[in-house]
């Protein structure tokens, strides 16, 4: 963590960066207070009215809100200086009768490990990756632009997506992201900036990325919806990698419906990512988000966990018990299950070896950066940040890995298959449509290793006013049903925590 003096300097520098952006004001009808928490559908309806809200006015409104609030939150590393011009162009298209899709003119924030082929950096929060901008947009960014979205800027994150060894939400470039509900509350990692920015009403939508928990955890802590799709459903090309076996981008929003809209916009086959070739195509992920979606759905929940022949009972929280009551009241059939825990004893070893190979390859190909490899990045950090404390322990462990790709492939294959079995066995034996768990049980770990989909949905608040979350998950490619179940719960629970900023 930063000392007090360094932290204050970072705060001042971040505030000066945001305040220094001289963006012209829009001469239009004033944006109504509360618009920062409007849904995508509400924003689109307002934009469709003659003389109504414009994308340019919305972008200007959010810029002002960011300049006012974000110096205390550090959710955003960089604003896109082209955003207002892009918004004006989307407005001209709308006036001419051309609306590209449901996200036309809607601002979207991107995690700072997702490449944009513009003037913005793609640094994963690391000064060692600041240099020439990326040569082109990531595939999912291309899709967003084609759908008419306005890229508002880049969000802060745990540096190198957690693989430097910093505290959650901390990067050298972006400072320490704070939870907008409570400044001392956990913010989660590594897509912390994306989650906190959406929670604080700085943008309606954001994109995060996950290797293991990096979307669903910060979404849960910050009281928003975070969806990790099946690995391969969304392209990873143009995203700073960790492991192709687990990496995926994913949507973050304040509702399941908006999450599904963002998922729609980013979906598509990418020839540069072979995993995307296996994914189902042409699906409207909002299609099943209708009243009555929970009726007769068989939803399992862990009553016990089984590991190494020992069965452990689950002491579910009062908030999660209320989650189960809501599901039951909506007609769901709740099935208590004994969830087997797979052997994860070699997981860290395998993951860090993947990161070593994939990050070295990425840095070697990326033009115009001050480093070209993991060892060079370690040396750069030591020179810049000093060596009096070990501020990059995970990065050093990555560099020290010796497990070859040939040696780890069969180990990975067996591990993933074992973790997939923990979900597939339950779904098959109990004829389940989905599973739900108290977020505190960390069930997301097994789902991430399996490469399966999972979604965090706000479920309430604890005694300190910090959001709580329910975690829904299912089998590979079960996104339509999983989103429908999560949406049904969200609509019945009516939990939408807003921070007091």
**Catalytic amino acids?**
111, 190, 214
CA of residue 330 relative to chain centroid, distance: 28
Which residues lie closer than 8 Å to 217 by C-beta, 6 or more apart? 188, 189, 226, 444, 456
Residue with tokens 């959010």, as numbered in its chain: 62
The DSSP-derived string for 248-316 is EEEEEESSHHHHHHHHHHH----TT-GGGGGS--S--TTTT--TTTTTT-EEEEEEEEEETTEEEE---
Q: What is the rounded distance in angstroms from the CA atom of residue 124 to the CA atom of residue 109?
A: 14
Please give, one letter per residue, the 3-state secondary structure of 206-264.
Answer: EEEEECCCCCHHHHHHHCCEEEECCCCCCCCCCECCCCCCCCEEEEEECCHHHHHHHHH
Q: Identify whether the C-beta of residue 215 lies closer than 8 Å to the C-beta of residue 252.
A: yes
Q: What is the rounded distance in angstroms from the CA atom of residue 379 to the CA atom of residue 282?
A: 46
Q: What is the rounded distance in angstroms from the CA atom of residue 369 to the CA atom of residue 133?
A: 9
Q: Identify whether the C-beta of residue 213 lies closer than 8 Å to the C-beta of residue 455.
A: no
């Amino acid at each position: 963590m930063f000392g007090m003096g360094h932290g204050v300097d970072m705060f001042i520098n971040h505030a000066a960066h945001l305040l220094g952006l001289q963006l012209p004001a829009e001469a239009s009808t004033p944006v109504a207070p509360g618009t920062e928490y409007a849904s995508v559908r509400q924003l689109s309806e307002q934009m469709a009215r003659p003389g109504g809200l414009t994308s340019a006015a919305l972008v200007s409104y959010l810029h002002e809100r960011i300049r006012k609030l974000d110096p205390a939150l550090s959710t955003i590393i960089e604003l896109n200086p082209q955003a207002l011009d892009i918004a004006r162009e989307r407005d001209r298209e709308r006036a001419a009768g051309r609306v590209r899709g449901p996200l036309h003119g809607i601002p979207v924030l991107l995690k700072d490990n997702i490449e944009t082929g513009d003037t913005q950096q793609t640094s994963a929060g690391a000064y060692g990756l600041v240099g020439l901008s990326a040569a082109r947009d990531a595939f999912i960014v291309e899709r967003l632009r084609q759908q008419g979205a306005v890229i508002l800027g880049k969000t802060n994150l745990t540096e190198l997506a957690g693989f430097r060894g910093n505290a959650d939400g901390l990067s050298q470039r972006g400072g320490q992201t704070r939870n907008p509900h409570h400044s001392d509350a956990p913010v989660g990692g590594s897509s912390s900036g994306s989650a906190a920015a959406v929670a604080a009403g700085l943008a309606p939508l954001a994109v995060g990325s996950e290797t293991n928990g990096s979307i669903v955890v910060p979404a849960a802590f910050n009281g928003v919806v975070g969806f990790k799709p099946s690995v391969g459903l969304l392209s990873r090309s143009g995203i700073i990698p960790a492991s192709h076996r687990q990496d995926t981008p994913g949507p973050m929003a304040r509702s399941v419906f908006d999450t599904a809209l963002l998922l729609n916009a980013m979906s598509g086959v990418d020839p540069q990512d072979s995993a995307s070739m296996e994914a189902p195509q042409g699906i409207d992920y909002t299609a099943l988000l209708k009243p009555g979606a929970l009726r007769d759905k068989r939803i399992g929940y862990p009553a016990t966990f089984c590991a190494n022949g020992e069965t452990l009972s689950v002491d579910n929280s009062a908030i999660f018990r209320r989650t189960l009551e809501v599901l039951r009241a909506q007609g769901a059939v709740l099935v208590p299950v004994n969830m087997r825990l797979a052997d994860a004893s070699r997981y860290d070893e395998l993951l860090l070896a993947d990161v070593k190979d994939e990050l070295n390859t990425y840095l070697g190909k990326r033009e115009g950066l001050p480093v070209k490899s993991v060892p060079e990045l370690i040396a750069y950090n030591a020179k810049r940040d000093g060596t009096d404390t070990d501020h990059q322990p995970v990065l050093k462990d990555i560099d020290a890995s010796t497990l070859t790709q040939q040696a780890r492939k069969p180990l990975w294959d067996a591990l993933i298959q074992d973790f997939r079995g923990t979900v597939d066995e339950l779904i098959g034996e109990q004829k389940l449509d989905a599973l739900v768990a108290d977020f505190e049980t960390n069930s997301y770990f097994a789902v991430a290793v399996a490469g399966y989909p999972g979604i965090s949905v706000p479920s309430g608040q604890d005694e300190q006013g910090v959001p709580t979350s329910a975690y829904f998950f299912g089998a590979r490619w079960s996104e339509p049903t999983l989103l429908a179940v999560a949406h049904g719960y969200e609509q019945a629970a009516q939990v939408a925590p807003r921070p007091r900023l």
